[in-house]
Structure 1
Amino acid sequence: MATKTMLHPRNQHREGYDFERLVAQSPELEAFTTRNPVGRTTIDFQDVGAVRMLNRALLKTYYDIDFWDIPADYLCPPIPGRVDYIHYLADLLADNNDQEIPRGPNIKVLDIGTGASLVYPLIGQSEYGWDFTGVDVDAGAIKSAQRICETNKLNIALRRQDIPENTLRGVIKPDDVFHVTLCNPPFHASMEQANRGTQRKWSNLGKGKSQKLNFGGQNAELWYPGGEIKFIANMVEQSRDFADQCLWFSSLVSKKDNLQPLYKILRKAKVADFKVVEMAQGQKISRFIAWTYIRRNQRSQFLSDLAK
């Protein structure tokens, strides 16, 4: 497999950030801009305030989100990589729909751990018109997401997961049916591990010691007992309860080394199929794993029935 170095072909940020356009739409961004050594406009990506302002400008300019903000100390996600996940999920659904991307509010998507930023539903609804349900264990995140929805007059359902150990149970209702789920799971196994990762990042940047995380983040966003593998394994186990209520389950996987253990877990769960989709932003490679219990010859009909 050839290694990807570019964003998805439909990603609007494939050619980099158009700061002239962004500042024209969000003049407050200009105060955070600077010039890099070759004279191009950029921002300090280690400055959480600058990244937050850039996200606000991106969401307004490309996705028609007039208001976007998150409380201090919540995860501030980089937009282009999040956009890629949405586009590759669209391709995944197209594979079961004669290579045509299904669009519109009849396409139901469940975002596990939607976060204070609500970033996946905002992008997916703008790009494809999908109907999103966002779930989170954190009350503050739900409150922030609700504010974004209400201020922008968006129809995005939000549900609180009351049991942190659960991923799907308790939030998928008996009459729910989804085309796809997505998730950006916590990848540290403990808060101590998250702090050590932070120290390494700051040291590599020549910043010395700091307790500050590069893009913020609450406990539930950063770590889960047993780490990423345990989180996704838990999701796979619970997905069996909803095998006939969702076409594709999916989750980001931060480390390539985590894939082999997950393959074993999926085979043990007797899924009908699973696949890994690689994504890239420059030299950084990310990926998501997707699995389904619906057999290949039934997926097109399953998708068609849901889209009615």
Structure 2
Amino acid sequence: MATKTKLHPRNQHSEGYDFARLVAQTPELEAFTISNPSGQATINFQDADAVRMLNRALLKTHYDINSWDIPAGYLCPPIPGRVDYIHYLADLLAQSNNQEIPRGRHIKVLDIGTGASLVYPLTGQHEYGWHFTGVDIDTGAIKSAMKICAFNKLDIAVRRQNKPENIFRGVIRPKDRFHLTMCNPPFHGSIEKASKGTQRKWANLGKGRSTQLNFGGQNAELWCPGGEIKFVARMVQQSMEFTNQCLWFTSLVSKKDNLQPLSRILKKAKVAEFKVTDMAQGQKTSRFIAWTYKSKRQRAAFAKET
């Protein structure tokens, strides 16, 4: 059993990875299992095949996903941290629902940049029964996401964003209503910065140099012109067109220093409220920013809609 982590209290992975249980569910994982200096079971996180197999085991063991894989070169996300975002979004919805987490398919979630892994819809649907719509600009990611849905007979909508400059435009349809939108935006401003960021991360982990981007990743998953601030600023601008169709707009923010400029952008957009939620994950702290154009009374009414 791994060392406990500082994940959300409802996160199934707060006690670490139970490799005995994972291997029992996915025997193929055993070939990738090694021991760390403390004698605990782990994997080599620089090995893309090992990371992919670990994710497959986690999704099968904890989220009833019997068939999962992604094409080579696509982002293979660390599941415990990704699920934390889902749990904190559940807490956000509870604030407008008498502190009770709303569960069931009437809760609609739009996942911007869902990726080839479909990690947020897979875990969020299992944990809370919400209905997800995943959106991506990458054809390969869309094909992979649809394949995962088909193999596991999942009712998750997958939509292609045809225009890279758009985020909500073109994928939110006139009759759509979403309780949440979520996004893990590309946080680097260039491919060079993405590569340097990976090297720093491996060095901080004491793993030396890696010739690959962290857990893989296509360009659109890792960087965009202007980086995270420009991307989220565009998201805020476009969110103003869908104030009546969405309750909460949210996005992960990788760099704490980006919160101040993003806060100014949100104030200028005249949102009714915005908030920042910190998520402690081991020695790392991540966060997401959430904004709404609805008053508290309007939020309560929207939250009860079916």
- Structure-1-length-normalised TM-score: 0.95
Deviation at 1:204, TM superposition (A): 5.0
- The aligned residue for residue 217 of structure 1 is 217
- The aligned residue for residue 182 of structure 1 is 182
CA distance in 1, matches of 2:168, 2:283: 33
Q: 1:180 is paired with a residue of what secondary structure?
A: strand
CA distance in 2, matches of 1:156, 1:209: 38
- The aligned residue for residue 290 of structure 1 is 290
**Identity across matched positions, percent:** 75
Given that 1:48 and 1:214 are in contact with CA atoms closer than 8 Å, whether structure 2 keeps it comes out as no
Q: 1:82 is paired with a residue of what secondary structure?
A: helix
Cα distance, 1:207–1:299 mapped onto 2, change above 3 Å = closer
CA distance in 2, matches of 1:42, 1:132: 32
Deviation at 1:50, TM superposition (A): 1.0
Cα distance, 1:17–1:206 mapped onto 2, change above 3 Å = closer
Q: Give the superposed CA RMSD.
A: 1.3
Deviations 1:34-84 (A, max 9, x none): 111111111112221111111000000000000010000000000000110
Specify every segment of 5 or more residues in structure 1 that has no aligned partner in the other structure, as ranges. none
Deviation at 1:213, TM superposition (A): 1.1
Cα distance, 1:202–1:93 mapped onto 2, change above 3 Å = closer
Specify every segment of 5 or more residues in structure 2 that has no aligned partner in the other structure, as ranges. none
Deviation at 1:196, TM superposition (A): 2.1
CA distance in 2, matches of 1:200, 1:94: 38
CA distance in 2, matches of 1:154, 1:61: 17
Deviations 1:2-32 (A, max 9, x none): xxx7100100000100111000000000111
CA distance in 2, matches of 1:24, 1:286: 32
Deviation at 1:198, TM superposition (A): 2.7
- The answer as to 2:242 corresponding to 1:232 is no
- The aligned residue for residue 247 of structure 1 is 247
Deviations 1:137-164 (A, max 9, x none): 0000000000000000001001000110
- The aligned residue for residue 272 of structure 1 is 272
Question: How many residue pairs align between the two structures?
Answer: 302
Q: 2:103 is paired with a residue of what secondary structure?
A: coil
- The aligned residue for residue 100 of structure 1 is 100
CA distance in 2, matches of 1:39, 1:206: 18
- Equivalent positions of 1:54-203 (< 5 A) are 54-203=54-203
Q: 2:51 is paired with a residue of what secondary structure?
A: helix
Which amino acid letter does the alignment assign opposite residue 166 of structure 2? N
258-267 vs 33-42, which deviates more?
Answer: 33-42
CA distance in 2, matches of 1:191, 1:219: 7
Which amino acid letter does the alignment assign opposite residue 283 of structure 2? Q
- The aligned residue for residue 49 of structure 1 is 49
- The aligned residue for residue 10 of structure 1 is 10
Q: 1:50 is paired with a residue of what secondary structure?
A: helix
150-159 vs 209-218, which deviates more?
Answer: 209-218
Given that 1:109 and 1:130 are in contact with CA atoms closer than 8 Å, whether structure 2 keeps it comes out as yes
Deviation at 1:203, TM superposition (A): 4.9
Given that 2:46 and 2:210 are in contact with CA atoms closer than 8 Å, whether structure 1 keeps it comes out as no
Deviation at 1:166, TM superposition (A): 0.8
Q: 1:68 is paired with a residue of what secondary structure?
A: coil
Q: 2:304 is paired with a residue of what secondary structure?
A: helix
